[in-house]
Amino acid sequence: MNTPENGNDILTAWYQIAVPDAAQPASGRPLRLYLPRWQTVGQIAVYADSRLVFRSGAGPIWNGFNHPLWVALGGAADDAPPETVVIRVDHLRSAGLALSSVWLGDEKQLSQRRWWRDFFQTDLTAILSAAFLLIGFFALGIWLLRREAMYGLFFLVSLFNFTRNLHFHQGLEPLPISEAWYGWMTINSAFWALVTAYIFGFRLYAAKFPLIERALVIMTVMAAIISLPGLTLIPLTWLLTPTLYLGVLVGIVAMTLISIRAAWRARSGEAMLVIAWSLLIIPTALHDLMLQNYRLDIEQLYLMPYTMLGFFPIILYVMLKRYTSALHKAERSNADLQISLKAKEVELGESYARLRVIENEQVLGAERQRLMQDMHDGLGASLMGALKAVESGRPLDLSEILRECIDDLKLAIDSLEPIQSDLLLLLATLRFRLGARLEQAGVSLHWHVEDIPRIEWLNPHSALHVLRIVQEVLANAVKHAQASAVTLATKTRGNHVVVVIEDNGIGFDASAPRARGRGVSNVLRRAQAIGAQASWNSRPGGTQFELALPLQAPQVSQPASY
């Protein structure tokens, strides 16, 4: 047997067993040896009538001690069953030695017993450790996305627990790495698994122990450094494993008490589960320590792998509860959001209703103000003129002034009609109002209009300005230009709609100061008030007037007050 450098003396233990008649297998079946467990630092070999039938293939330290031996001893159809079986164990003097009960018999008789033992002793913990690690990688993915410490600790616990449990699964075949490094990895992973599990518990019930956590990490790192293979600080670290485990047991007791106190303060269901798990660790750790030091029956199972795996469903429960809690919060948030949204909709509807009332009041007020201003500037001025005519004794002018008053009143009424931005309809209304008067004055009105775009910004206030501009131009053509024919036309020019009024009168010089009387000035001011452009082209024999209205709403600094 190869032993580490500076190892203790090697002893060889021999166990000879006579095969009883009752253990002899049926004809044609081999005799089997079933050994539930053997434990030492060394190697084992099995002989059947001095013939070697089995030898452990791994090293002396990690030698597959936790795997039951299942050895065929011979006795098949062409081979007589052995009469004696010899078990040889080479081991270190300081390591101790223990063998469980030895079973000899037919394969059919022992296979079921061996299967159950192998399942609970090695296979079950291996399967659960692998499942724990697989879900741990899922938690690692969540941690990479969300950076929540709970998920990162979950992964570390699963990783260290899987590495630690390799101690109970490996050993039937030679290890892929040296025994020294394998031992260093499995022993230290036990410490790290406990440390990360306790820190996970602290995070679970929101307990803050920064000094304790820092001390645990520092001590675990120091233990890993001191036990590094190749360092001479502690030679033959594997021989000190029982002492190290005893120190770990003391630490488990201390950390369990701290965890119980913190979990009790949290008073949550998850904290109670952690308390139960923490209380379970102490007796199972003590049990395994006694089993390792040959203080208990060697056929008993090591319980710490199961206890550490008991942390697995606790973590799953915590994660599941957090997930369902997040779903419930999202559902409550959605419900609260719907309630809030409905309340906001009601509030917004009420606000819109108030705004509509205010807007209607403003529209009515503005329209009332416009009518007052229009009646003051138009009808009021005409009535004042009528009053002065009566007072000055000019009755002939009175009828003309009263006609102008009636025209102004009709224009104000026409401006209230819902023309819906239709300039042609507005002009047609004016033609209906003024057509008879023009005929009485001996002036023929020619109507040459074409389809034009709608002027969306044309409201009653602007419409009244347009009507008064056209009325003023027609009145000038009759009174001052002495025209006998007037033509009104519409056309589109670029981004404008143009109203053209042409007469066959005597014409005038629009640029001359005398020509720019009150009528021309009124037309210009009204055009400016609505963002339009007014122009005259006068010559002997006629005058052409154009009013260009923009299709887009113009920028008007202030409305006209006349």
Supply the pLDDT for residue 424.
Answer: 87
Cα distance between residue 102 and residue 69, in whole Å: 10
113-117 contacts at long range (C-beta below 8 A, 24 or more positions apart): 113/34, 114/34, 114/68, 114/70, 117/36, 117/68
State whether residue 380 is helix, strand or coil. Answer: helix
Supply the pLDDT for residue 2.
Answer: 47
Supply the pLDDT for residue 10.
Answer: 86
Calculate the CA dihedral of residues 221, 227, 233, 237 and round it to 10 degrees. Answer: 150
Question: Would you say 53 and 47 are in contact if contact means Cβ atoms under 8 Å apart?
Answer: yes
Q: Are strands 31-35 and 444-448 parallel, antiparallel or unpaired?
A: unpaired
Which residues, 6+ apart, have CB-to-CB distance to 350 below 8 Å? none
Supply the pLDDT for residue 178.
Answer: 84
Question: Would you say 172 and 222 are in contact if contact means Cβ atoms under 8 Å apart?
Answer: no
The single residue listed with the structure tokens 């509807």 is: 349
Supply the pLDDT for residue 437.
Answer: 79
Cα distance between residue 198 and residue 194, in whole Å: 6
Question: Would you say 43 and 90 are in contact if contact means Cβ atoms under 8 Å apart?
Answer: yes
The single residue listed with the structure tokens 């008064």 is: 468
What's the token pair of residue 551? 């299709």
Q: Which of 455, 376, 467, 373 is nearest to 420 (CA)?
A: 455
CA-angle at 464, arms to 461 and 467, nearest 5°: 155
Cα distance between residue 278 and residue 253, in whole Å: 9
Q: Which of 209, 200, 208, 207 is nearest to 318 (CA)?
A: 200
The single residue listed with the structure tokens 């090697």 is: 10
Q: Note the pTM of the prediction, 2 decimals.
A: 0.59
pLDDT in single tens digits along all 562 residues of the chain = 444 444 457 899 999 999 998 888 776 678 899 999 999 988 999 999 989 999 987 778 778 889 999 999 876 655 778 889 999 999 988 788 999 999 999 888 899 999 999 999 999 999 999 999 999 999 999 999 988 888 999 999 999 999 988 888 877 777 778 888 888 888 889 889 889 988 888 887 777 788 888 988 998 898 888 888 877 555 555 556 666 667 777 777 888 788 777 777 777 777 778 778 878 888 898 898 899 888 999 999 999 889 888 888 888 888 888 888 888 988 998 888 999 899 999 989 888 888 888 888 887 776 676 666 666 656 666 676 666 666 666 665 666 666 667 767 766 676 666 655 688 888 888 888 788 778 888 889 898 888 889 888 888 778 888 888 998 888 888 888 888 899 999 999 989 999 999 999 887 766 655 455 567 888 898 899 889 999 998 887 889 999 999 988 887 654 444 4
Cα distance between residue 188 and residue 222, in whole Å: 10
Residues recorded for the chain: 562
What's the token pair of residue 441? 């004055």
Half-sphere exposure of 481 (CA within 13 A, CB side): 32
Supply the pLDDT for residue 367.
Answer: 67
The angle, 0 to 180 degrees and rounded to 10, between the axes of the packed helices 124-146 and 304-374 is 30
The single residue listed with the structure tokens 């290890």 is: 175
Cα distance between residue 514 and residue 328, in whole Å: 86
Question: Would you say 125 and 306 are in contact if contact means Cβ atoms under 8 Å apart?
Answer: yes
Q: Residue ranges of the domains in the chain?
A: 435-562
Cα distance between residue 66 and residue 305, in whole Å: 12
State whether residue 489 is helix, strand or coil. Answer: strand
Give burial (CB, 10 Å; 0-12/13-18/19+) of 433: middle
Largest CA distance in the chain: 163
Cα distance between residue 65 and residue 171, in whole Å: 7
- The secondary element (H helix, E strand) that includes residue 502 is strand 496-503
Across-strand partners of 10? Answer: 92
Question: For the domain with range 435-562, which CATH number is right: 3.40.50.720, 3.30.365.10, 3.40.50.10310, 3.30.565.10?
Answer: 3.30.565.10
Which one-letter amino acid corresponds to residue 173?
A: E
Backbone torsion region of residue 302, taken as left when φ is above 0, otherwise alpha when ψ lies between -120 and 50, otherwise beta: beta
Cα distance between residue 453 and residue 455, in whole Å: 6
What's the token pair of residue 542? 């006629």
